[in-house]
Structure 1
Amino acid sequence: MRKDSTLFPLTTLQRQGIFYALIFIGSGASLPYMPLWFADKGMTGAQIGFILALPLLLRAVTGPIMGVWAEKFPLFRTPVIYLAALGGIFYGLLGAWPLFQDGRFVVFALVWCLGYSCITSISPLLDVMTIQMSKREGFNYTWPRAIGSASFIAANIAVGYGLNWLGVDLIQVWVVCLCFAAMLAAAYVLPKAVRHVDGPVTEAAAVPAGSGWTKIRALIGNPVFVLLLIAMGCIQAAHGFYYGFSTIIWKGQGLDGATCGYLWATGVAAEVVFLALGFRIRNRFGSWALLVAAGALSTLRWVVMGFAPPLWVLWPLQTLHAASFAACYLAGLDLVNRMAPKGSESLAQTLNAAYVTGVMMGLSTLSSGPIYDVLGGGGYFVMGGLAACGFAIAIWLYRKQVMTA
């Protein structure tokens, strides 16, 4: 595996792992706990749901724009540096909340939207970079992502304990600092990888030369590609209620911050194990089968969560995150990359992120606020129904793509 000697004698795998770690430390510090921060600043459940959902919904627009913009740079890491820097600046503005007593909700929604849009646009770019570098250098591209997930666990637990001692304002400070750390890492740790070093094996028709928008139209003209995004969107969007309100629900049931952190960490630990074994599992069963399994186990997870199970049941339920998230993620990453014509990999993964973890997750998160206000923890039943829709579409695709092949 090639070593880049421009700064540190690290392999590409190690460099990718370091950057994934920084990005996911930031996620671990913010994703479970930012709703608590917003609630501490006086936001209602519906307002929190809107704030969290807004940037996800807008990814229908910002995702393709970011993808087309990023492809203009010859190096993968250049747009990553810009996005990390801008994300840190916007998140930093959240710290000025005392200046906006009257219009706090509007300011939170705007600033969070800008910061979140920048940071979440990094992930699909990094995924494509890692896949293409792994093809050239022969390493397992799931390992850097597994390193990131392990880092998520560490941040999750650390911030859970920190909440007990230092209060919720610790969260915003963590996120800002880590955004800028990611920017520096992108500049000095990520290898100087040029785009499209290798073309994947494709399952889509070749896209004629043209603008990024021409390539986008060709991709969304593939009905299997579109149905794949819908199936993954339903399965992944079923996490919206969990991401937004699980910590609040658990604390309402009497669990302390550290226990909530351990519960989140348990789910991500299962994800790490799955990603570490992901190549073998995918090669054994195939990506379409993984998607079907993700839909089935996701449905089971959220339906059982709707019954407000005791703590001893929550632990094994959290391990199902390996299926509801990781299996769906890994299957989608592979299937989308295989369907993307050469030269459109970044755009395909950007569309995947924009509509699966963007629009679909945004709609789920937006509805989760009012659902929580009305149903409380019973909102998990709604998420179970959403996952079941993804499961049904995944079964149809499996039969069409595998059983009739």
Structure 2
Amino acid sequence: MPAQAFGFALFLFCYYAHAGTWSTYATLFFANKGMTVAQIGVLMSMIQVLRIVGPNLWGYAADHYDRRVLVLRLAGFAALAGFSGFFFGNSFGHFMLAMVILNLFTSGQAPICEALMLSEMKGDLTYYGRIRMWGSIGFIVSVTLASLALEHYGIVTLPWVAAGLLVATIAAAFRLRDVPRRTHRTPPPPLLSLLRRREVMAFFLSTALMVAAHTALYTFYSLYLERNGYSKTVIGAMWSLGVVAEVMLFYHQAPLFKRWGARRLMYLALGVAVLRFLMIGAGSHMLGLLIAAQLMHAATFALHHSASVMSLQRWFSGPLQARGQALYMSISYGAGGSLGGLFLAQWWERAGAESVYYVAAALCALSAMAATLSFRWQRNDGH
């Protein structure tokens, strides 16, 4: 077990507790402040859009100055300063500025923490899943407890809850310390030359398509269930079921990766994703089918995420560790998530809710094709 395992787990718990609680309930907060649906859509899109910029900016600073923990702490204080804007002011412009500052700084924190973890593990990712799962646990615990607080005290208390979790994230960052880098006999290749490799481009195209497909869940799943007559209790239970499946996979993944390897498990995750989205699209009135599809979140998120992180180590390690994680976050979740959300929103309007999930299945199939090319080119090029 890595020496800082508890510190990493605590940071991820607090970070995803804040991110999950704010992203889940911010729409209700903005509506309460008089924002229109269109304005709320633009405000919430900043979470994805700033992932294109923030992780790369802070990943570069962390790698260039070799002070990852310092960058992590400073980003936390800056995010808290930006978040203070939600306690006063009621205009769209005011909230827009606060969302930009908050997400500019928080978007880089998870990749830097993961880069620290990977440096300390020195290529042995046996315990990666058991540490990363605490982020998922933080998400579900906080979202559940916050729902009780908001039910009792009202949505106006959301900024206080979310700010408290931001303070906890900063405190957790003070438990972490920088990890000495392994010395490399040769300097790392320039970042741009790495990104020009066809196998690297195919890898990032694959992960972006997979995340784009998952916006069918993150953005539309609750609305999809509600439109098909399911209660808020059932909707909440379905989300919880997915996160529990994700946590269980993270906990038990080490022997799977030792036996089968990242490439085979990546293919498995992508194949399961195609099936999962087809089941959701076809099973809108079959609760049993929807439950089975939700259990597949273990493969389509947790297994895919871990396989992606392990695949990244082939190209981005040592002095490029933080920027590799940042690129994964910004290309996959920033660009893939933003474009996927916009595209599927238009598709919902034109072709109906069920068809969104058939399109998501097609995106997963395209992702599998790109992953196949990436792995094939790696073998052919000797990388």
| Cα distance change, pair 391–63 in 1 and its aligned pair in 2 (3 A) | same
Choose from 64, 70, 85 the match for 2:77: 85
The 5-angstrom pairing of residues 349-388 of structure 1 reads 349-374=325-350, 377-378=353-354, 379-388=356-365
Could you say which residue in structure 1 is the equivalent of 2:43? 51
CA distance in 1, matches of 2:123, 2:346: 48
| Cα distance change, pair 402–297 in 1 and its aligned pair in 2 (3 A) | farther
Q: Is this contact kept in 1: 2:126–2:254, CA < 8 A?
A: no
Equivalent position SS for 1:338? coil
Deviations 1:54-87 (A, max 9, x none): 4533444443222212224433211111112222
CA distance in 2, matches of 1:260, 1:163: 17
CA distance in 2, matches of 1:108, 1:319: 36
When structure 1 is superposed on structure 2, of 86-95 and 344-353 the one drifting more is 86-95
Deviations 1:158-200 (A, max 9, x none): 234445444444444322221121112212x11x22352476x
CA distance in 1, matches of 2:291, 2:255: 26
1:390, CA displacement in angstroms? 0.6
Choose from 268, 271, 285 the match for 2:260: 285
Could you say which residue in structure 2 is the equivalent of 1:174? 161
Choose from 212, 237, 241 the match for 1:237: 212
CA distance in 2, matches of 1:50, 1:160: 24
Equivalent position SS for 1:344? helix
CA distance in 1, matches of 2:114, 2:349: 36
CA distance in 1, matches of 2:225, 2:195: 40
Could you say which residue in structure 1 is the equivalent of 2:291? 315
Q: Is this contact kept in 2: 1:290–1:327, CA < 8 A?
A: yes
Report the AA paired with residue 194 of structure 1.
V
CA distance in 2, matches of 1:331, 1:137: 14
Report the AA paired with residue 393 of structure 1.
A
Could you say which residue in structure 2 is the equivalent of 1:8? none
| Cα distance change, pair 76–66 in 1 and its aligned pair in 2 (3 A) | closer
Report the AA paired with residue 125 of structure 1.
I
CA distance in 1, matches of 2:170, 2:138: 17
1:42, CA displacement in angstroms? 4.9
Does residue 196 of the first structure (1) align with residue 181 of the second (2)?
Answer: yes
Does residue 27 of the first structure (1) align with residue 14 of the second (2)?
Answer: no
Report the AA paired with residue 344 of structure 1.
L
| Cα distance change, pair 139–380 in 1 and its aligned pair in 2 (3 A) | closer
Could you say which residue in structure 1 is the equivalent of 2:248? 273
Could you say which residue in structure 2 is the equivalent of 1:211? none
CA distance in 2, matches of 1:321, 1:92: 34
The 5-angstrom pairing of residues 245-256 of structure 1 reads 245-256=220-231
Q: Is this contact kept in 1: 2:51–2:107, CA < 8 A?
A: no
Percentage of matched positions with identical amino acids:
22
Report the AA paired with residue 244 of structure 1.
T
CA distance in 1, matches of 2:118, 2:131: 10
Could you say which residue in structure 1 is the equivalent of 2:131? 144
Report the AA paired with residue 294 of structure 1.
A
The 5-angstrom pairing of residues 60-75 of structure 1 reads 60-75=52-67
The number of residue pairs the alignment matches comes to 380
Could you say which residue in structure 1 is the equivalent of 2:188? 207
1:235, CA displacement in angstroms? 0.8
1:144, CA displacement in angstroms? 1.4
1:293, CA displacement in angstroms? 1.6
Report the AA paired with residue 215 of structure 2.
G
When structure 1 is superposed on structure 2, of 127-136 and 276-285 the one drifting more is 127-136
Query: TM-score if structure 1 supplies the norm length?
Result: 0.83
Could you say which residue in structure 2 is the equivalent of 1:125? 112
Could you say which residue in structure 1 is the equivalent of 2:312? 336
Could you say which residue in structure 2 is the equivalent of 1:112? 99
1:296, CA displacement in angstroms? 1.5
CA distance in 2, matches of 1:387, 1:76: 34
CA RMSD of aligned residues (A): 3.0
Q: Is this contact kept in 2: 1:295–1:387, CA < 8 A?
A: yes
CA distance in 1, matches of 2:35, 2:223: 13
Could you say which residue in structure 1 is the equivalent of 2:146? 159
Could you say which residue in structure 1 is the equivalent of 2:371? 394
Equivalent position SS for 1:33? helix
1:139, CA displacement in angstroms? 6.5
CA distance in 1, matches of 2:127, 2:308: 16
| Cα distance change, pair 170–388 in 1 and its aligned pair in 2 (3 A) | farther
1:228, CA displacement in angstroms? 0.5
Equivalent position SS for 1:185? helix
CA distance in 2, matches of 1:265, 1:258: 11
